[in-house]
Amino acid sequence: MDRPLTLFEKIWNRHVVTASADGESLLYVDRNLLHEGSFLAFDLLRHAGSRVRRPGGSLAFVDHFAPTRRVEGDRAAAIFDADGRHVIVELEKNAKAHGLEFFGLDDELQGIMHVVGPELGLVLPGLVITGNDSHTCTNGAFGALAFGIGQSEIKQVLETQTVWRSRPKTMRVRIDGGLPARVSSKDVALALIGRLGAGAGTGYVIEYAGSCVAAMSMEARMSLTNMAIEAGARAGLVGPDATTFDYLSRCARAPKGGDWHDALEAWKGLATEDGAGFDREVSLDVNTLAPMVTWGTSLDQADGIDGRIPQPADVDDPDKRAVLERSLAYMGLTPGAALQGIPIDRAFIGSCTNSRIEDLRAAADILRGRRVRVPTLISPGSMSVKRQAEAEALDGIFVSAGAEWGDASCSMCVGSNGDLVASGRRCASSSPRNFEGRQGIGARTHVMSPAMVAAAAVAGAIVDVRML
């Protein structure tokens, strides 16, 4: 094509196998990531009498039901219910039956699939990556087109290494400026969703660009693209650059030797070209951005820490007013009250959004020499991250502060493994979602950065981390 192309267009065009009359494209899939919830796809495959077409193209991870605790050193013994044990066993059986690499409870590389894939170098620029989880979009931080798919589509990928997809529109979000102290990419993501709305990205692939993104580490970029789905987008992308290449050069499974040099040359050609067109352009200046906190049951119900709970009476639209009233009733909050000072009952640092070593370091900076006032659980994103944190003595800081230091798991983000927030209790959480019942029936979730969670745990209330 003669016109300048975007990163998305380059990846999409190279992966189209064929197109249908109704405009859908059959895409070749380079990597397919699976967790315990994939059992239905394997059942469909078995009932169809089919086999996995390319076993090396799919990998299986125990993460949603993985215990954060152990019983006398045994993780399996800590699985809290029969259903959890069943899906873990089924995933291992399916992986072995079809020759898939399996990251089980006792694997030294076990962890959340959106953490383990990137840290091993299984996620590379220019790839198409699917997974049976909406946060597969995390992998877009590397310049890969990554998106979650349903069980019937997982079955199709297992069977054919392809998936049908309609071509999305493109949105470029330009983020410029320097992040103030104690403000992170999690705050940027929340600010964007708060400004645009939780459904603003519906039908789009978002490419994040600008000076702020260029200055972000890969961990920070992964937190940003992880939350593209929370804006309704199909995927999030960051153009691969020197930061990407430096990160990948240290990954065990990334290309080596001559293959590395060949791959690097190919990756350098993926960047969006000058003059390439997008269907929508958005900009955000972060120079004065404050740490963000959600107050409602949708991520666009968020504000800077110095904000206040909105007044339903100030909303003219009756439907929007009703949504606001429902959120405040569920969250047990008073209109007009300040965000600072809202008491919390629990604190959680972890999830596929904020469980990498950089996140744990940020939390440790706040917890060092202090004590938490509420039960606080810290779950690393992978056992590799756990070992690195322990090598840096971060675990000692957490334990000395009175926090619980767990194993790698999705944990209290969704509570599949039994790490739940009790009904009516309020949790400061670094997870990516805050809808009703996300952390347990009746649980009240306030989403924020790891540093903000640590500050809330110390204060026993939502506070401005910058004041510590």
Contact criterion met (CB below 8 Å) for 210 and 412 = no
> Are both 308 and 444 inside the same structural domain?
yes
pLDDT at 264: 98
Residue 373: inside a domain: yes
Domain CATH number, residue 87: 3.30.499.10
Cα–Cα separations (whole angstroms), residue 408 to 21, 52, 147, 465: 45, 28, 23, 26
Which residues sit opposite 131 in a β-bridge? 33, 148
* Band (366; pLDDT cuts 50, 70, 90): very high
Rounded to the nearest 5°, which phi and psi values hold at 166? -85, 145
Q: In which domain, by residue range, is 115 found?
A: 18-166
Q: Tell me the average pLDDT across 294-319.
A: 97
pLDDT at 267: 98
Residues of the chain with pLDDT > 70, as a percent, come to 100
Instruction: Measure the CA–CA gap between 205 and 164, rounded to whole angstroms.
Output: 16
Residue 385: inside a domain: yes
Report residue 183 as tokens: 């403000």
Contact criterion met (CB below 8 Å) for 65 and 87 = yes
Residue type for 385, please? V
pLDDT digits (tens, 9 = 90+) for 326-335: 999 999 999 9
Q: Residue 290 carries which DSSP code?
A: P
Average pLDDT, the chain: 97
Q: Residue 125 carries which DSSP code?
A: T
Phi-psi region of 460 (alpha: psi -120 to 50; beta: other; left: phi over 0): left
Q: Tell me the average pLDDT across 434-445.
A: 97
Residue at a domain's end among 116, 145, 166 = 166
Q: Tell me the average pLDDT across 397-402.
A: 98
Residue 260: inside a domain: no
Residue 212: inside a domain: no
* Band (1; pLDDT cuts 50, 70, 90): low
Residue 226 has pLDDT above 70, yes or no: yes
Residue 184: inside a domain: no
> Are both 309 and 453 inside the same structural domain?
yes
Residue at a domain's end among 140, 166, 192 = 166
Handedness of CA 84, 88, 89, 93 (dihedral sign): positive
Residue 2 has pLDDT above 90, yes or no: no
CA triplet 34, 190, 455: central angle to 5 degrees?
95
CB atoms within 10 A of CB 316: 7
Instruction: Measure the CA–CA gap between 156 and 141, rounded to whole angstroms.
Output: 25
Secondary structure of residue 338 in the 3-state scheme: strand
Residue 159 has pLDDT above 70, yes or no: yes
Instruction: Measure the CA–CA gap between 249 and 412, rounded to whole angstroms.
Output: 32
Owner of token pair 């909303």: 315
Query: Which pTM was predicted?
Result: 0.97
> Are both 162 and 301 inside the same structural domain?
no
pLDDT digits (tens, 9 = 90+) for 86-95: 999 999 999 9
CB atoms within 10 A of CB 90: 15
Residue at a domain's end among 166, 190, 216 = 166
Handedness of CA 170, 172, 173, 178 (dihedral sign): positive
Residue 429 has pLDDT above 90, yes or no: yes
Q: Tell me the average pLDDT across 437-453.
A: 98
Residue 6: inside a domain: no
Residue 7 has pLDDT above 70, yes or no: yes
Spell out where 325-460 has E strands: 346-349, 376-378, 404-405, 426-429, 444-447
Domain tally for the chain? Answer: 2
Nearest of 83, 80, 89, 84 to residue 60 by alpha carbon: 89
Residue 175: inside a domain: no
> Are both 299 and 162 inside the same structural domain?
no
Residue 42: inside a domain: yes
Q: Tell me the average pLDDT across 277-284.
A: 98
CB atoms within 10 A of CB 447: 31
* Band (261; pLDDT cuts 50, 70, 90): very high
* Band (357; pLDDT cuts 50, 70, 90): very high
- Describe the crossing of helices 113-120 and 218-226 by its angle, rounded to 10 degrees: 140
Rounded to the nearest 5°, which phi and psi values hold at 57? -90, -5
Which residues sit opposite 280 in a β-bridge? 171
